[in-house]
Amino acid sequence: MSSPAPDPRDPRPLTGGPLSLDLLNTRWGVAEPRDLLRDRAGYEVWLSSAGLAGRCPADAVSLAATRIAREAIAAAAAEPASPAPEAVAALNEVLDHGRIRRELTAAGPAEAVEVGNPAWLAAWLAADDYLGLLRRNPDRIRSCAHPDCVLFFYDDSQNGRRRWHSMATCGNRAKASRHYARTRGGS
């Protein structure tokens, strides 16, 4: 399944990918930390880039719920294969706001997401997406290996050895840094 086209107003260096990790990547930058979810306008941009505009409310209550989900996913993603008990509890609190209802229809099996409060829909979808990544392979949930990067990605490379969210940015910076250290050390 392909990711929706990012909203042209989206300023993030990495967009798309799994919904849960895309939510984590609404925070970026180390020297100059940035947060797309600092206000409702940024939240609307994220909803649009994530393909959720029109499906999820873009109000202050939804923004607050989505920030809670982002913190819960971030805590769980710190150690995807064995999250801390507090991280498990926080993610389960978000998941308690919804469920998947399965039924048989005339067209065949169907499922629908149900949330008690529509304000939790984006948050719940992101938390549920994170569970899907854990089911596929928790070892492939990664944070970028560059020390000045805080972005996350799901390593879908064939050999599972991807280290950077982007070879063109963080990978090249790491290689250039190593090259500089070698050439400076050898003179």
Higher pLDDT, 2 or 85: 85
User: pLDDT of 91-133, one tens digit each?
Assistant: 999 999 999 999 999 999 999 999 999 999 999 999 999 999 9
Mean pLDDT of all residues in 139-143: 91
Question: In this prediction, what percent of the chain has a pLDDT beyond 90?
Answer: 71
Mean pLDDT of all residues in 17-22: 96
User: pLDDT of 30-84, one tens digit each?
Assistant: 889 999 999 999 999 999 999 999 999 999 999 999 999 999 999 999 999 999 9
Mean pLDDT of all residues in 13-42: 95
- pLDDT at residue 148, rounded to an integer: 81
User: pLDDT of 151-160, one tens digit each?
Assistant: 999 988 877 6
Q: Tell me the three-class secondary structure of the chain, residue by residue.
A: CCCCCCCCCCCCCCCCCCHHHHHHCCEECCCCCEEHHHCHHHHHHHHHHCCCECCECCCHHHHHHHHHHHHHHHHHHCCCCCCCHHHHHHHHHHHCCEEEEEEEECCEEEEEEEECCHHHHHHHHHHHHHHHHHHHCHHHEEECCCCCCCCEEECCCCCCCCCCCCHHHHHHHHHHHHHHHHHHHCC
Question: In this prediction, what percent of the chain has a pLDDT beyond 70?
Answer: 84
Mean pLDDT of all residues in 151-174: 70
- pLDDT at residue 49, rounded to an integer: 97
- pLDDT at residue 30, rounded to an integer: 85
For the cut 50, the answer to whether the pLDDT of residue 179 exceeds it is no
For the cut 90, the answer to whether the pLDDT of residue 28 exceeds it is yes
For the cut 70, the answer to whether the pLDDT of residue 171 exceeds it is no
